[in-house]
Amino acid sequence: MSSQKGRVLITGGSGFVGAHIANRFLAGGWEVVLFDLRPPELELPPAFPRAVEFVQGNVLGVDELAEAISAHSINGIVHSAAVVGDVRAEEQPALAFDINVRGTFNALEAARLRNLRFTYISTATLYGQKEDREPVRESDLPDPVGMYDGTKYMGEVLAHSYHKAYAVDAVSLRPGFLYGPGSNIGHYYLDRLVRGESLRGVPGADHYCDFTYIKDFAEGVYLAHTTRPLANRVFNISSRQYFSRAHFAKVVATVLGGDVEIKLGSGLPARAHQRGPSDNSRAAAEFGYEPRYDLEAGLRDWLAWLRKQESQGVR
């Protein structure tokens, strides 16, 4: 089993997922180039800009992408740029298609032309509705139900096709419900409570989710990108924390202490995806992935970050 170091370009690198991936690569001794429309807003230890460069660009700009790769001697791409979430993707389907499909095609073309390793951030949402809540495995047939998971699956098919047709060293990773510092998609309560918001009547107490701490996912991305050989090209990456939102809320209250009260409404939130926990067996076997954060540990780590932001006057 071999590993690789060098300089990685992270598309969407200024966002929630991209920023944490960047920090994991920094910790591994890599240099990082963030390729995004906006500069990074999320400062995490080790703080930007150590060994980090920012290039303002759009994955729809083929020339911008090629120039960034050539100018910075990139030897690997982690592609996390995306229109994320069902609501945004369905409100702006043309944008979702452009970024999630055409943008992925552009990044794969760049990888093909320069013989770069390519890691695609996909989503476990593409498994679709699995009301039996049995564990989901990479061999399960995807069944997208919306524009977000549909376009992300198209990107994954492109990555696999580039691997088969052109021998591009491409891997696709499917995360669960990601929470942690900087998250702004989904309902994970902790950040809102720290900001002083009231959580009463929030729907979804009975919604079971594969809650995955963002640092666990970033570790999986790092291992999948840097470890070779690999027998497979699609991997689930989760924290194996499969609980109802009601249970998640109870752990949030425990972590915060005091008289914190979260009143969730019963049932499922609108447009909820129901599926079982992701099976990580393939990732564990092929590149030694093991999640480090149980639910309470992840929430305590996130809370420490939120308190630090608060002490610095960052809201």
CA distance 140 to 304: 38
Contacts of residue 148, defined as CB under 8 A and 6 or more positions apart, other chains included, come to: 83, 84, 85, 86, 88, 89, 90, 96, 100, 123, 125
CA distance 85 to 23: 23
pLDDT score for 198: 77
Instruction: Answer for the pair 305, 251: CB distance below 8 angstroms, yes or no.
Output: no
Q: Over 60: is that where the pLDDT of 175 sits?
A: yes
190: left (phi over 0), alpha (psi -120 to 50) or beta: alpha
Q: Over 80: is that where the pLDDT of 152 sits?
A: yes
Q: Give residue-wise pLDDT tens across range 265-284.
A: 888 877 788 899 999 999 99
Q: Give residue-wise pLDDT tens across range 53-95.
A: 899 999 999 999 999 999 999 999 999 999 998 889 999 999 9
Which is higher by pLDDT, 237 or 53? 237
Q: Closest Cα partner for 15 from 39, 31, 47? A: 39
CA distance 142 to 136: 10
Q: Closest Cα partner for 158 from 145, 168, 144? A: 168
CA distance 45 to 48: 8
- The residue type found at 270 is A
In the structure, what pLDDT confidence band is assigned to residue 299 with cuts at 50, 70 and 90?
A: very high
Q: Give pTM, 2 decimals.
A: 0.94
Q: Over 70: is that where the pLDDT of 37 sits?
A: yes
Q: Over 70: is that where the pLDDT of 200 sits?
A: yes
